[in-house]
């Protein structure tokens, strides 16, 4: 496979080259793709506006690189293996030829229904191959997809539709997850009552649950696909045309639409997939993420399929019908690379080793983690019991905004170290700064993680609000991309990610803005004010702890807490429900009215020994009350 690094010396050489001659380096990587027109310039950038362009003026269609390019060389190779929620239900395998056919047909369905280059299409679907077909068909006709995780509420879905003024929603009737069957189309209907840009909804039948189909608006996937042509010529896209928007949470109440573009995203996701997973042509690769998150975009769909890999899509959950399900799937398909979240590892570790015993797991070569810091204990458990001590673990650090993995071991090539993402991949220039923006040079330093040179798959803007992109990522430290993460570089020069330094909580690897959760809590009519912080959670990494001031008249505390949880679930989705709610008489505030979250965080962590000087607060007396009522 092209551009694969095989040795430590090779890594050092490639890394140095990527820093000293980035244009030559990336130009060589990009040469292995099919471009309709080559670029005039490799990169054009400044981090002040910010303006970043890769492979300037090149023309391509990413799906020609995924599908058409592979047709003759690997048409009969499985592209997607789909494993259903129920182990007894037949699986589905789509070869590259079949995936090509499905994508071409669905591209024609999109065009027939008025979708044109540049239109925004929302994908709100379960983990079925059609979700990948939907993404690729959008990319093929030049429409910009925005996948919304199917666990988000109608309100969250409506906000995203309105923000990007989407023209179409692709969805399903329902979604099987473990023992549950979740209505999906009904959520779409509720969302559409609050939007006015959607012209059509195309609904894939998965669960057979009853749905309401609005005539003139709603169409069935299978009916639209019937009799439609299998011929489709991909739209010509500029390298910097938008490929997709993916909404993610930040410090403010409103999620932002991170924008990725065609050329750079294509080059970087394939390059990193090949190197970080050391995929060989007959391997079977499995990433357990959901397509609703960036990991699903870059490392279930785009990266692996660009590389001509066989990628597994799993519809269900790790514990259904029992906590051995992941391992059963690994043995069933002889999975070689397995990529999951620390939360899943910790949740399965809690069941002990018994669920693993029936399985051989001897096909595994590389294990990966993503989304949140992995604690050393979970790392060792994964290494010893799943990898049987012989599979390197790639702890991959990256973000929705980075598009692809930036810091990670290369298995068998660079060393691993428990709980460390270790070294930057070629092309990535991390820098650690203190809070004033001074660079902390050398080893054994700790500070804020920034990146000082662009890489091909970085975000280009936040949809409809470039100022926000500039303020969030490029204004904290002049000339640098600020990640929002704290980091340590140890005595050997390895990077360890310490977690967010902003008002973002990472629950089971899902990003939540504290302001976003507070806004949802405040929607409850009895809530006067609230403050949300994260606290250490054994399985989820972090849990949500909410301090709430409310009017308790005629209500029991327990009822009110449950109602608040339901409100959050309804407004954002079940993933944002606070684990702990404490009703408080007041919130500690500075004299200028700012909530002292530091104190609330300490109390939530159960550490009240070092709260610092509270006497300068506007209301120091509430601190004692809060400590007394803490859970």
Query: Looking at residue 615, what DSSP letter applies?
Result: T
Query: Looking at residue 122, what DSSP letter applies?
Result: E
CA 226 to chain CA centroid, Å, is 33
Which residues in 497-526 contact ligand PRX (CB under 6 A)?
497, 499-500, 506, 511
Which residues in 407-466 contact ligand PRX (CB under 6 A)?
421
Range in contact with ligand PRX (rule: CB under 6 A) among 75-83, 132-140, 393-401, 618-626: 393-401
Burial of 226 (0-12, 13-18, 19+ CB in 10 A): exposed
Placement of tokens 């010396």 in the chain: 9
- Which C-beta is closer to ligand PRX: that of 250 or that of 355? 250
> In a 3-state reduction of DSSP, which class is residue 556?
coil
State the nearest-atom distance from the C-beta of 78 to ligand PRX, in Å.
26
CA 467 to chain CA centroid, Å, is 23
State the nearest-atom distance from the C-beta of 513 to ligand PRX, in Å.
11
Query: Looking at residue 254, what DSSP letter applies?
Result: S
CB 521 within 8 Å of CB 527: yes
State the nearest-atom distance from the C-beta of 484 to ligand PRX, in Å.
5
484 binding ligand PRX? (CB under 6 A): yes
Burial of 170 (0-12, 13-18, 19+ CB in 10 A): buried
Cα–Cα distance, 340 to 81 (Å, whole number): 17
State the nearest-atom distance from the C-beta of 303 to ligand PRX, in Å.
12
Range in contact with ligand PRX (rule: CB under 6 A) among 14-22, 43-51, 191-199, 495-503: 495-503
Query: Looking at residue 193, what DSSP letter applies?
Result: T
Choose, by CB under 6 A, the member of 370, 391, 451, 571 that binds ligand PRX.
370
- Which C-beta is closer to ligand PRX: that of 129 or that of 484? 484
- Which C-beta is closer to ligand PRX: that of 119 or that of 372? 372
Placement of tokens 């430290």 in the chain: 477
Cα–Cα distance, 297 to 576 (Å, whole number): 22
State the nearest-atom distance from the C-beta of 415 to ligand PRX, in Å.
16
- Which C-beta is closer to ligand PRX: that of 396 or that of 429? 396
> In a 3-state reduction of DSSP, which class is residue 261?
strand
State the nearest-atom distance from the C-beta of 174 to ligand PRX, in Å.
26
Locate the DSSP E strands across 10-130: 41-46, 51-56, 59-60, 78-83, 92-95, 120-124
Range in contact with ligand PRX (rule: CB under 6 A) among 217-225, 349-357, 482-490, 573-581: 482-490
- Which C-beta is closer to ligand PRX: that of 200 or that of 270? 270
373 binding ligand PRX? (CB under 6 A): yes
Q: Are strands 504-507 and 495-500 parallel, antiparallel or unpaired?
A: unpaired
DSSP code string of 415-457: ---TT--BSBPTT--EEEE-TT--B--SSSEEEEEEE-S--TT
- Which C-beta is closer to ligand PRX: that of 140 or that of 383? 383
311 binding ligand PRX? (CB under 6 A): no
* Distant-in-sequence, close-in-space partners of 16: CB < 8 Å, separation ≥ 6: none
- Which C-beta is closer to ligand PRX: that of 11 or that of 398? 398
Range in contact with ligand PRX (rule: CB under 6 A) among 3-11, 392-400, 410-418, 524-532: 392-400
- Which C-beta is closer to ligand PRX: that of 171 or that of 248? 248
What is the CB neighbour count within 10 angstroms for residue 606? 11
- Which C-beta is closer to ligand PRX: that of 257 or that of 308? 257
- Which C-beta is closer to ligand PRX: that of 84 or that of 368? 368
Choose, by CB under 6 A, the member of 200, 261, 274, 399 that binds ligand PRX.
399
State the nearest-atom distance from the C-beta of 586 to ligand PRX, in Å.
31
State the nearest-atom distance from the C-beta of 376 to ligand PRX, in Å.
13
Cα–Cα distance, 354 to 360 (Å, whole number): 13
Burial of 436 (0-12, 13-18, 19+ CB in 10 A): exposed
Q: Are strands 92-95 and 78-83 parallel, antiparallel or unpaired?
A: antiparallel
Range in contact with ligand PRX (rule: CB under 6 A) among 237-245, 263-271, 389-397, 621-629: 389-397
Cα–Cα distance, 520 to 564 (Å, whole number): 9
Choose, by CB under 6 A, the member of 400, 414, 457, 514 that binds ligand PRX.
400
Could you give the residue ranges of the DSSP H alpha helices within 463-513? 466-469
- DSSP run (H or E) holding 549: strand 541-550
Cα–Cα distance, 485 to 568 (Å, whole number): 26
- Which C-beta is closer to ligand PRX: that of 159 or that of 485? 485
Residue nearest to ligand PRX (CB): 400
Nearest to 339, CA basis, from 305, 368, 361: 368
- Which C-beta is closer to ligand PRX: that of 308 or that of 342? 342
Count residues binding ligand PRX (CB under 6 A): 22
Cα–Cα distance, 499 to 357 (Å, whole number): 34
- Which C-beta is closer to ligand PRX: that of 232 or that of 248? 248
Choose, by CB under 6 A, the member of 372, 503, 516, 518 that binds ligand PRX.
372
State the nearest-atom distance from the C-beta of 58 to ligand PRX, in Å.
26
Choose, by CB under 6 A, the member of 95, 156, 270, 295 that binds ligand PRX.
295
CA angle 556, 562, 566 (to 5 degrees): 140
- C-alpha distance from residue 152 to each of 201, 248, 490, 575 (Å): 17, 12, 39, 8
Range in contact with ligand PRX (rule: CB under 6 A) among 74-82, 138-146, 217-225, 369-377: 369-377
Placement of tokens 């649950």 in the chain: 209
Range in contact with ligand PRX (rule: CB under 6 A) among 57-65, 266-274, 355-363, 368-376: 368-376
- Which C-beta is closer to ligand PRX: that of 328 or that of 445? 445
* Distant-in-sequence, close-in-space partners of 438: CB < 8 Å, separation ≥ 6: none
Choose, by CB under 6 A, the member of 204, 265, 314, 398 that binds ligand PRX.
398
State the nearest-atom distance from the C-beta of 226 to ligand PRX, in Å.
38
State the nearest-atom distance from the C-beta of 162 to ligand PRX, in Å.
22
Binding residues for ligand PRX, rule: CB under 6 A, are 248, 294-295, 370-373, 395-400, 421, 483-485, 497, 499-500, 506, 511
């Amino acid at each position: 496979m092209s551009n694969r690094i095989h040795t430590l010396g090779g890594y050092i050489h490639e890394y140095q080259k990527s820093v000293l001659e980035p244009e030559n380096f990336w130009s060589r990587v990009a040469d292995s793709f099919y471009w309709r027109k080559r670029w005039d310039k490799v990169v054009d950038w400044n981090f002040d506006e910010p303006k970043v362009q890769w492979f300037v003026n090149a023309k391509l269609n990413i799906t020609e690189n995924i599908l058409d390019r592979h047709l003759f060389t690997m048409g009969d190779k499985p592209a997607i293996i789909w494993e259903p929620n129920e182990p007894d239900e037949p699986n589905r395998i789509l070869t590259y030829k079949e995936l090509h056919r499905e994508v071409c047909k669905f591209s024609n369905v999109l065009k027939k229904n008025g979708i044109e280059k540049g239109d925004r299409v929302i994908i709100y679907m379960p983990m079925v191959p059609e979700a990948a077909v939907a993404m690729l068909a959008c990319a093929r006709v030049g429409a910009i997809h925005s996948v919304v995780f199917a666990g988000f509420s109608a309100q969250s879905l409506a906000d995203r539709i309105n923000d990007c003024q989407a023209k179409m929603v692709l969805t399903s009737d329902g979604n099987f997850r473990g023992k549950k069957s979740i209505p999906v189309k009904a959520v779409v209907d509720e969302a559409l009552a609050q939007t006015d840009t959607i012209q059509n909804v195309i609904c894939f039948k998965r669960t057979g649950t009853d749905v309401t189909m609005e005539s003139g608006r709603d169409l069935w996937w299978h009916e639209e696909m019937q009799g439609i042509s299998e011929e489709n010529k991909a739209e010509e896209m500029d390298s910097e045309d938008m490929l997709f928007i993916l909404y993610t949470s930040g410090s403010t109440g409103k999620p932002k639409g991170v924008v990725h573009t065609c050329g750079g995203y294509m080059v970087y996701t394939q390059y990193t997939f090949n190197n970080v997973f050391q995929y060989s042509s007959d391997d079977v690769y499995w990433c357990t993420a959901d397509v609703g998150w960036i990991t699903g975009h870059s490392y279930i769909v785009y990266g692996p399929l660009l590389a001509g890999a066989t990628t597994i899509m799993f519809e269900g959950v790790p514990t259904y019908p029992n906590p051995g399900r992941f391992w059963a799937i690994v043995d069933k398909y002889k999975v070689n690379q397995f990529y999951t979240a620390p939360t899943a590892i910790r949740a399965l570790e809690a069941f002990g080793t018994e669920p693993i015993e029936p399985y051989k797991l001897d096909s595994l070569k590389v294990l990966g983690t993503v989304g949140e810091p992995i604690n050393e204990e979970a790392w060792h458990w994964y290494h010893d019991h799943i990898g049987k001590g012989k599979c390197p673990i790639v702890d991959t650090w990256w973000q929705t905004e980075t598009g692809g993995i930036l810091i990670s071991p290369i298995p068998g090539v660079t060393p691993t170290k428990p709980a460390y993402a270790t070294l930057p991949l070629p092309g990535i220039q991390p820098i650690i700064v203190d809070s004033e923006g001074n660079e902390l040079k050398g080893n054994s330093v700790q500070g804020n993680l920034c990146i000082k040179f662009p890489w091909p798959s970085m975000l280009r803007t936040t949809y409809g609000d470039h100022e926000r992109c500039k303020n969030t990522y490029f204004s904290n430290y002049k000339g640098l991309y600020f990640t929002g993460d704290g980091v340590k570089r140890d005595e050997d020069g390895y990077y360890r990610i310490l977690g967010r330094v902003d008002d973002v909580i990472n629950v089971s690897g899902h990003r939540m803005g504290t302001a976003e959760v507070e806004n949802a809590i405040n929607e409850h009519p009895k809530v006067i004010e609230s403050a949300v912080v994260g606290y250490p959670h054994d399985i989820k990494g972090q849990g949500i702890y909410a301090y709430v001031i409310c009017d308790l008249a005629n209500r029991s505390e327990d009822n009110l807490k449950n109602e608040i949880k339901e409100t959050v679930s309804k407004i954002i989705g079940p993933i944002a429900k606070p684990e702990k709610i404490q009703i408080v008489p007041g919130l500690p505030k500075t004299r200028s009215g700012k909530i002292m979250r530091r104190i609330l965080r300490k109390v939530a962590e159960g550490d009240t020994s070092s709260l610092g000087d509270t006497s300068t607060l506007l209301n120091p007396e509430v601190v004692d009350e809060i400590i007394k009522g803490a859970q």
